[in-house]
Amino acid sequence: MPTITKVSEIEFRPKEKSEPDWLYEHRRDGWKTFQSMSLPDRVEHLWRYTSPEEFLVEQSNSIMQSYRGLSPAETETAEAEQEEYAGFGTIKADGMINSALQEKLESRGVFLGSIFEAMKKHPELVANHHGKIVGAEFGKFEAMNAALWSGGLLLYVPDNVVLDKPIYLKREITESASFTRVLAVFGKNSQGTLIDEYGSEHRNEGGLANGITELFADDYARVRYVNLQNLPKSYNSYITQRAKIGKSTSLYTIFGGIGSSTSKVNVGTILAGMAAESKMYGVVFADEKQHFDYHTLHHHTAAESFSDIDFKVILKDKATSAYTGLIKINEDTRNCQAYQINRNLLLNKGTKAESIPELEILTDEVQCTHGATMGPIDPEMLFYLKSRGFARPDAVRMIIQGFVEPTAAQLPEELGDTMRKLILTKLEGNRA
């Protein structure tokens, strides 16, 4: 990683002529907040197992890119032709956005493209949602993103619109420090699936990927959000995702992680409407000396809401992981149900997993449970498969496939197949 230098003397850049006042102030305040905040203390429970220094980079004027108010002509667009997707968007290294959307969806008011472009077409939409649930006050590294992000995508699905195929987004991380954002807004009674992948083809380079996703789903919406982190091991990744869902809204959050050297991921959903439902499914697979640190949150702020978390970890070689899951239920938020389970599969000696389930229940009349399992592959399973003629490597492969399958089955078909292949490839030790 690059050397760390002091930033106290680096002032935020001047305002560009075409830059909205509110956005410039938001960025400038983010920089001030980043400078004023100290690094998280390792005694804090969310930082107990991971060094915050891993997510700092050398601060210089070169990293503080100017505002780029991209015009439609500067934003590469095309009609989506892939049969499996309703649209796609790519955040490139220089902040350029490549986006495509089915023409029939554009005619119904769906927008997919650069946040900068959206500021011209939907200024109130951006102003009312950008930074509202993951702002500069969220934390030091979120403040750094608020000030420095250069690539941003917006997906807007109006009321009563149904996306019959997924929207696929790709964050192409190629710089030594990449700061990206995705903002997704689903209207009332809308439906859709959003796939958000972090990846890079530059296997020999390295650096930091700092990404934020804010997702809003209004009343009666049905949404699936898929987050896949598949970066080279030369990178560290810091990912924050928050969602806020309304009355009788259903959100399925599915996240998978197999890449990067050190990865810290903070995923959460605010259940802000009565009868809201949030389910999270996660699978991460770490090998060699990879370190994964995941934190999940379900915050119930409305009555009769339901949440469920099923987070699975596979560790190999000398890999380590830490999982912290918090269920929080506000006062006078009755008749809620919340569950969480963390399963850890340790493939050999030398791996280490930490599991910290947390409950913050401020009311009565709720049902909440949590649990965790941790250990090697059941020797009786191996014995049974070997007695049926399977060699040990094949038996281990089958057990891992069964471990992962419930989560892979929740993904769109083509993405589920991709996750299965990635995990099997990594199991065989072929991951770069």
Q: Do the domain assignments include residue 291?
A: no
Name the nearest CA neighbour of 415 among 115, 220, 193, 207.
Answer: 193
Q: Do the domain assignments include residue 117?
A: yes
Alpha carbon distance 101, 107 (integer Å)? 10
- Residues 242 and 387 both lie in one domain: no
Residue, of 168 and 2, whose pLDDT is higher:
168
Domain count, the chain: 2
Residue, of 369 and 18, whose pLDDT is higher:
369
- Tell me what percent of the residues of the chain surpass a pLDDT of 70: 90
Q: Do the domain assignments include residue 306?
A: no
pLDDT of residue 68: 54
Contact status, residue 275 vs residue 245, Cβ threshold 8 Å: no
Q: Is residue 180's pLDDT more than 80?
A: yes
Q: Give the end of a domain, one of 238, 273, 308.
A: 273
Q: Do the domain assignments include residue 50?
A: yes
Those residues whose C-beta lies under 8 Å from the C-beta of residue 312, and which sit 6 or more positions away, are: 282, 283, 284, 342, 343, 344, 345, 403, 404, 407
- Token look-up 């999940």 returns 296
Name the nearest CA neighbour of 156 among 198, 127, 122.
Answer: 122
pLDDT band at 84 (very low <50, low <70, confident <90, very high): confident
Q: Do the domain assignments include residue 248?
A: yes
pLDDT of residue 294: 97
- Tokens matching residue 216: 């809003």
Do the strands 151-157 and 111-114 form a parallel or antiparallel pair, or are they unpaired?
antiparallel
pLDDT of residue 14: 86
Q: Is residue 230's pLDDT more than 70?
A: yes
Alpha carbon distance 183, 122 (integer Å)? 13
pLDDT of residue 67: 58
CA atoms within 13 A on the CB side of 418: 14
- Residues 71 and 215 both lie in one domain: yes
182-204 residue pLDDT tens: 999 999 999 999 999 998 876 65
**What's the domain range around 33?**
21-273
pLDDT of residue 317: 93
Q: Do the domain assignments include residue 340?
A: no
Q: Give the end of a domain, one of 221, 250, 273.
A: 273
pTM score:
0.91
Q: Do the domain assignments include residue 265?
A: yes
Alpha carbon distance 25, 125 (integer Å)? 17
* Averaged pLDDT for residues 276-280: 97
* Averaged pLDDT for residues 368-389: 90
- Residues 252 and 393 both lie in one domain: no
pLDDT band at 72 (very low <50, low <70, confident <90, very high): very low
Q: Do the domain assignments include residue 295?
A: no
- Residues 257 and 383 both lie in one domain: no
- Tokens matching residue 405: 């399958």
pLDDT of residue 7: 53
pLDDT of residue 323: 96
Contact status, residue 309 vs residue 339, Cβ threshold 8 Å: yes
- Residues 33 and 178 both lie in one domain: yes
Alpha carbon distance 354, 356 (integer Å)? 7
Name the nearest CA neighbour of 245 among 308, 329, 187.
Answer: 187
CA distances from 88 to 99, 172, 216 (A): 6, 13, 19
Q: Give the end of a domain, one of 237, 258, 273.
A: 273
- Residues 252 and 385 both lie in one domain: no
Those residues whose C-beta lies under 8 Å from the C-beta of residue 432, and which sit 6 or more positions away, are: 203, 232, 233
- Residues 199 and 82 both lie in one domain: yes
pLDDT band at 95 (very low <50, low <70, confident <90, very high): low
pLDDT band at 331 (very low <50, low <70, confident <90, very high): very high
* Averaged pLDDT for residues 401-427: 82
Catalogue the E-assigned strands of 73-176. 76-78, 87-91, 97-101, 111-114, 151-157, 167-172
* Cα angle value 46/49/55 (rounded, 5°): 80
pLDDT band at 413 (very low <50, low <70, confident <90, very high): confident
- Residues 386 and 265 both lie in one domain: no
- Residues 145 and 259 both lie in one domain: yes
pLDDT of residue 242: 98
Q: Is residue 430's pLDDT more than 60?
A: no
Q: Is residue 211's pLDDT more than 60?
A: yes
